[in-house]
């Protein structure tokens, strides 16, 4: 008895409609036109349900494609691989139709210009994309500057502690340990690829069993901050490639509400850019004065040579495979209709619309409503 009660309480919604219909058919005198009216409305309800399910599959497909576009941000199974580089290139494509980028900022000073956008996925943290152009700077200097943990505390007041845990002298891959004053711990894997004086740097959160997680301070596990560095023409208009462009993608989950994080980023963004620019100018001055390279900056010069034609082909092939899989899944969703609805609708349609003026009128009205959807 308990099982029957639980089963009835969790019954599908359409069973209630069938139950009421059968009860109504048993109590209404034979030949009464209300039977056909009820059956016709049942068919109409079933058709509307089927139509809405078919229409919602496209929306779900778009949402799943958007989620897939940033799914690798939380992939911390291994250190930097070529797939992470492909992911960086994918996120930096402004024409990516599956992602909507909202403009956040467009400011400049005489020696730096900055543009920023953000993308809010259905789930997960916000993804930020920016383009920074430093005047009178070389890609090599900017590359070393970003990698130089020994110099970073001079311009990044949030960094309280850093340590290099592992390094590979062959590929330049390193794993570093950061502790920030916001009481957050980062275990970050880093690697740089190089192609025709362009540098592709990938940094992301990675697991590190030697440092087990604790409740406090909190370890930021979802972390992806990567950029492309290249020389560009200066705003001076002299035709010289004396400026350096940094295209950045950044995403992290600090464990705070998304709206609070967005507010903090918006209010602190331009101040952080000015500190970054000031730090780079100080770094340039120190280098010109003959300051020795730190160990982390020396590691930045160990890069993996990259054939961009091969990387582009691999990325395009991967995107095509993803689109094919999405199309196949969409077709499957469109045709995976609940058979119960088909049976109920078919029976109701056959019984209620056969040679009936009421049925014809209802069928015409249903067709008009479906056409308007």
Domains of the chain listed by start with CATH number: 21-69+307-373 (no CATH), 77-304 (3.30.530.20)
**DSSP classification of residue 241:** -
Contact between residue 224 and residue 69 where contact means Cβ atoms under 8 Å apart: no
Q: How many CB atoms lie within 10 A of CB 78?
A: 12
Average pLDDT over residues 306-320: 58
Comparing CA positions, the residue from 359, 330, 361, 340 lying closest to residue 59 is 330
Average pLDDT over residues 200-211: 93
pLDDT band of 74, cuts 50, 70, 90: very low
pLDDT band of 139, cuts 50, 70, 90: very high
More confident residue, 288 or 68: 288
More confident residue, 345 or 246: 246
Contact between residue 116 and residue 133 where contact means Cβ atoms under 8 Å apart: no
Give the separation between CA 204 and CA 175, rounded to whole angstroms.
10
Q: What's the number of CA atoms in the CB half-sphere (13 Å) around residue 41?
A: 9
Average pLDDT over residues 109-116: 96
Residue 169 is predicted with a pLDDT of 92
Residue 160 is predicted with a pLDDT of 94
User: Is the pLDDT assigned to residue 95 strictly greater than 70?
Assistant: no
Residue 366 is predicted with a pLDDT of 52
Residue 27 is predicted with a pLDDT of 53
pLDDT band of 298, cuts 50, 70, 90: very high
Average pLDDT over residues 63-85: 54
Mean pLDDT rounded to a whole number for the chain: 76
Contact between residue 31 and residue 60 where contact means Cβ atoms under 8 Å apart: no
pLDDT in tens, 22-63: 555 555 555 555 555 555 555 566 556 655 555 554 544 444
Average pLDDT over residues 214-233: 91
Residue 4 is predicted with a pLDDT of 37
Specify the length of the chain in residues.
373
More confident residue, 96 or 98: 98
User: Is the pLDDT assigned to residue 217 strictly greater than 70?
Assistant: yes
Q: Tell me how far CA of residue 225 lies from CA of 55, 148, 188, 191, 253, in angstroms.
A: 37, 15, 10, 12, 12
Q: What pTM was estimated for this model as a whole? A: 0.66
Comparing CA positions, the residue from 359, 227, 369, 219 lying closest to residue 300 is 227
pLDDT band of 360, cuts 50, 70, 90: low
Residue 135 is predicted with a pLDDT of 97
User: Is the pLDDT assigned to residue 291 strictly greater than 90?
Assistant: yes
Give the burial class of 175: count Cβ atoms within 10 A of its Cβ; 0-12 exposed, 13-18 middle, 19 or more buried: buried
Residue 258 is predicted with a pLDDT of 84
What does the buried/exposed string (b/e) look like for 298-321 if buried means 16 or more CB atoms within 10 Å of the residue's CB? ebbebbbebeeeebeeebeeeeee
User: Is the pLDDT assigned to residue 279 strictly greater than 70?
Assistant: yes
Which of the given ranges, 57-61, 90-94, 141-145, has the highest pLDDT on average? 141-145
Q: What percent of the chain has pLDDT over 90?
A: 44
More confident residue, 108 or 27: 108
User: What are the backbone dihedrals phi and psi of residue 355, each rounded to the nearest 5 degrees, phi first?
Assistant: 45, 50
358's CB contacts (< 8 A; 6+ apart) are: 33, 36, 37, 40
Comparing CA positions, the residue from 250, 302, 318 lying closest to residue 86 is 318
pLDDT band of 151, cuts 50, 70, 90: very high
Residue 77 is predicted with a pLDDT of 46
Average pLDDT over residues 194-216: 91
Q: Tell me how far CA of residue 206 lies from CA of 8, 73, 185, in angstroms.
A: 48, 11, 12
User: Is the pLDDT assigned to residue 198 strictly greater than 80?
Assistant: yes
Average pLDDT over residues 277-283: 97
Give the separation between CA 19 and CA 7, rounded to whole angstroms.
15
Tokens 């350096």 belong to residue: 244
Residue 323 is predicted with a pLDDT of 57
Rounded (10°) CA dihedral 333, 339, 344, 350: 90
Residue 239 is predicted with a pLDDT of 85
User: Is the pLDDT assigned to residue 97 strictly greater than 90?
Assistant: no
Contact between residue 211 and residue 188 where contact means Cβ atoms under 8 Å apart: no
Between strands 218-219 and 184-195, the pairing is parallel
Residue 144 is predicted with a pLDDT of 97
């Amino acid at each position: 008895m308990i099982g029957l009660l639980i089963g009835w309480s969790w019954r599908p919604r359409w069973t209630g409609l069938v139950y009421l219909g059968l009860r109504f058919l048993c109590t209404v005198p034979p030949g009464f036109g209300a039977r056909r009216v009820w059956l016709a409305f049942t068919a109409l309800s079933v058709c509307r349900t089927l139509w809405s399910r078919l229409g919602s599959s496209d929306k779900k497909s778009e949402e799943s494609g958007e989620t897939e576009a940033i799914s690798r941000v939380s992939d911390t199974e291994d250190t930097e691989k070529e797939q992470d580089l492909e992911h960086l290139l994918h996120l930096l494509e402004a024409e990516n139709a599956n992602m909507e980028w909202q403009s956040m900022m467009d400011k400049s000073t005489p020696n730096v210009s900055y543009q920023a956008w953000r993308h809010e996925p259905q789930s997960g943290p916000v993804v930020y994309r920016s383009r920074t152009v430093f005047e009178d700077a070389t890609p090599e200097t900017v590359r070393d500057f970003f990698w130089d943990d020994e110099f970073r505390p001079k311009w990044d007041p949030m960094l309280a502690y850093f340590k290099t845990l592992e390094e590979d002298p062959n590929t330049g891959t390193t794993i570093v340990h950061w502790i920030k004053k916001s009481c957050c711990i980062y275990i970050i894997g880093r690697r740089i690829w190089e192609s025709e004086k362009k540098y592709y740097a990938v940094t992301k959160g990675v697991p590190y069993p030697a440092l087990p997680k604790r409740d406090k301070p909190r370890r930021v596990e979802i972390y992806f901050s990567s950029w492309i560095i290249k020389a560009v023409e200066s705003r001076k208009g002299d035709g010289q490639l004396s400026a350096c462009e940094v295209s950045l993608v950044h995403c992290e989950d600090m464990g705070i509400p998304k709206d609070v994080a967005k507010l903090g980023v918006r209010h602190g963004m331009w101040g952080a850019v000015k500190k970054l620019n000031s730090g780079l100018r100080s770094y340039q001055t120190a280098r010109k004065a003959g300051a020795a390279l730190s160990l982390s900056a020396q590691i930045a010069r160990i890069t993996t040579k990259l054939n961009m034609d091969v990387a582009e082909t691999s990325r395009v092939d991967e995107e095509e495979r993803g689109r094919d899989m999405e199309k196949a899944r969409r077709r499957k969703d469109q045709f995976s209709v609940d058979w119960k609805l088909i049976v109920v609708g078919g029976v109701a349609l056959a019984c209620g619309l056969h040679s009936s003026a009421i049925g014809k009128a209802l069928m015409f009205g249903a067709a008009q409503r479906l056409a308007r959807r």
